[in-house]
Amino acid sequence: MVHSLLFIFGFSLVFILLGASATYAGQLILRYQSLLMKVGGVIIIILGIHLTGIIKLKFLQREKKVHLREKPLGYLGTVLVGMTFAAGWTPCIGPILGSILILASTSQKVTSGIILLGFYSLGLALPFFASSLAINSFLSYFKKIRPFIRLIPIISGILLIGVGVLLVTDYFTYLVILLSRLFPLPA
């Protein structure tokens, strides 16, 4: 359980730092934000199409594997493995992560990027942690849902295409304004 939490901490740290960095970089080029949103929207649409399987972009499907014989450095090693996982697991999470980073880069505040990537990390962490606690139950349940597993990237791709269209057409800004009115953040 401790190793699972440290692994989650490792990949969450990298993702949250990426979110903060993307927002900071986005602030530096604030005067190009409208263009960035439109270009980012086109990229998100392309990533969504890739994720659905309609087209396959070869550069998004490459991976590099490192095999270790022993667990290095105990708990610190587990954190490092989590960080390495975050840095190198782009074939599976690249399109969605890239889309969230593009959204973070258009945010006004660094905390927005941190929050976006924090929830992204949480979304990855929950299944990892749950499976570490109940690996046998998870494996038997996974066998039941395995025939439907291809639907997840297709649905995710369709959602990304929708977000991309909203960004390109500037309707994403209206959606954010509407949602912030419906669900105001505490001061």
How confident is the model over 124-136, as a mean pLDDT?
Answer: 77
The rounded radius of gyration (Å) of the Cα atoms in the chain is 18
184 pLDDT higher than 80? no
- Judge whether 94 and 18 are in contact, CB under 8 Å: no
The DSSP line for the chain is -HHHHHHHHHHHHHHHHHHHHHHHHHHHTGGGHHHHHHHHHHHHHHHHHHHHTSS--GGGS-------SS-TTHHHHHHHHHHHHHHH-HHHHHHHHHHHHHHHHT-SSHHHHHHHHHHHHHHHHHHHHHHHHSHHHHHHHHHHHGGGTTHHHHHHHHHHHHHHHHHHTTHHHHHHHHHHHHSPPP-
pTM exceeds 0.85: no
pLDDT attached to residue 45: 92
Interatomic CA distance for residues 135 and 177, integer angstroms: 42
Q: Cβ contacts of residue 175 below 8 Å, gap of 6+?
A: 166
165 pLDDT more than 80? yes
Per-residue confidence at 71, pLDDT binned at 50, 70, 90? low
Which residues fall within 8 angstroms of residue 81, CB to CB, at 6 or more apart? 7, 10
pLDDT of residue 21: 82
Question: Residue 158: its pLDDT value, please?
Answer: 94
